[in-house]
């Protein structure tokens, strides 16, 4: 399977590196307006490939995205220290006007996987600009927030994050909703599991975990300028589910018919991902307070997208 990545910065190159090591794609093409950067990233990553498998990693222009099954859009301006993801909206929307048209001109059958921030609104922008059905335009959404949530819970409980079934829904950003009511460890409800092993999840613990999940990106950006390894791995996991038709469930962003009463909004809920893109969405049961908070998040995203003139 051939994969295209537009944007050879830290997010795009991290996704390319993770994909090359997974060994599930045959070719990765990096496209960037800075052709020297794309070439350097491709060369560096290709030198790692022989240690793990066989995958061609190269730089190219948009024409070389022809026949790509998935094109990751990681192009755009970077997030500045202290800048919210939503503040990036107007700047990155302009970038997408050009990028989406060029991608679809050469690869009209590709699935679009959106990584540029603010990712929910940019996924909506890509859907509107492309005219593609929503199941073919997938935003990375809250996949990384969900991974952080599971990791922090797993650390507190002393279990592998892979045994923690929990989701963050709504916006990938400040209004995101950690759904505590449906958390399961294996098949056991969170509070029952925590009580059984003597590690209670108190309000203080919940508050600390929520704060760490919500502010993780800001802390990383303040420390080293950008966050990219986590989302690079998340993008690779989504591509793996597409390439192998694994039908894994990820909390990704896409145009949703209705979410907590908010119609036609692009936001994250758990979705099954397979070869054709989004197969189905499965929203977990929510408590009333969670529904209200998720409705606020959805309304925020809906209003932002509606205000953007394309």
Catalytically annotated residues: 172
Distances (CA, A) of 242 to 90, 163, 221, 230, 269: 30, 23, 30, 19, 18
Side by side, the strands of the sheet bearing 277-281 are 56-59, 27-31, 2-6, 70-73, 111-114, 137-139, 248-259, 262-274, 277-281
**Residue 266: how many other CB atoms lie within 10 Å:** 30
**Separation CA 43–CA 56 (nearest Å):** 10
Provide the token pair at 48: 């790692």
Between the CA of residue 80 and those of 5, 127, 185, 217, 225, what are the distances in Å? Answer: 22, 26, 36, 11, 8
148-187: buried (b, 16+ CB within 10 Å) or exposed (e) per residue?
A: bbbbbbbebbebebebbbbbbbbbbbebbbbbbebbebee
| 248, 253, 259, 262 alpha-carbon torsion, rounded to 10° | -170
Across 242-262, b (16+ Cβ under 10 Å) vs e yields bbeeeeebbbbbbbbeebbeb
Q: Which two tokens stand for residue 165?
A: 């079934």
């Amino acid at each position: 399977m051939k994969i295209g990545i537009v944007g050879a910065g830290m997010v795009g190159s991290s996704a390319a590196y993770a994909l090359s090591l997974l060994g599930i794609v045959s070719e990765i093409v990096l496209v960037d307006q800075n052709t020297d950067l794309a070439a350097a990233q491709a060369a560096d990553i290709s030198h790692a490939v022989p240690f793990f498998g066989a995958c061609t990693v190269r730089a190219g222009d948009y024409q070389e995205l022809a026949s790509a099954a998935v094109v990751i859009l990681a192009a755009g301006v970077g997030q500045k220290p202290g800048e919210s993801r939503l503040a990036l909206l107007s700047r990155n929307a302009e970038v997408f006007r050009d990028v989406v048209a060029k991608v679809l001109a050469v690869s009209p059958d590709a699935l679009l996987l959106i990584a540029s921030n603010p990712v929910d609104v940019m996924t909506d922008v890509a859907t509107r600009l492309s005219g593609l059905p929503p199941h073919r335009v997938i935003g990375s959404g809250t996949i990384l927030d969900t991974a952080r949530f599971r990791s922090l819970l797993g650390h507190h409980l002393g279990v592998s994050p892979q045994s923690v079934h929990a989701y963050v829904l709504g916006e990938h950003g400040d209004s995101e909703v950690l759904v505590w009511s449906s958390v399961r460890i294996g098949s056991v409800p969170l509070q029952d599991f925590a009580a059984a092993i003597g590690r209670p999840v108190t309000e203080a613990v919940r508050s600390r975990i929520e704060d760490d999940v919500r502010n993780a990106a800001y802390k990383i950006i303040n420390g080293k300028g950008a966050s990219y390894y986590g989302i690079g791995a998340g993008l690779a996991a989504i591509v793996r589910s597409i390439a192998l038709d694994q039908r894994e469930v990820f909390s990704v962003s896409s145009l949703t018919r209705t979410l907590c009463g908010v119609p036609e909004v692009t936001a994250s809920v758990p979705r099954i991902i397979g070869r054709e893109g989004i197969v189905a969405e499965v929203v977990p049961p929510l408590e009333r307070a969670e529904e209200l908070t998720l409705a606020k998040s959805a309304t925020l995203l809906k209003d932002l997208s509606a205000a953007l003139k394309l």
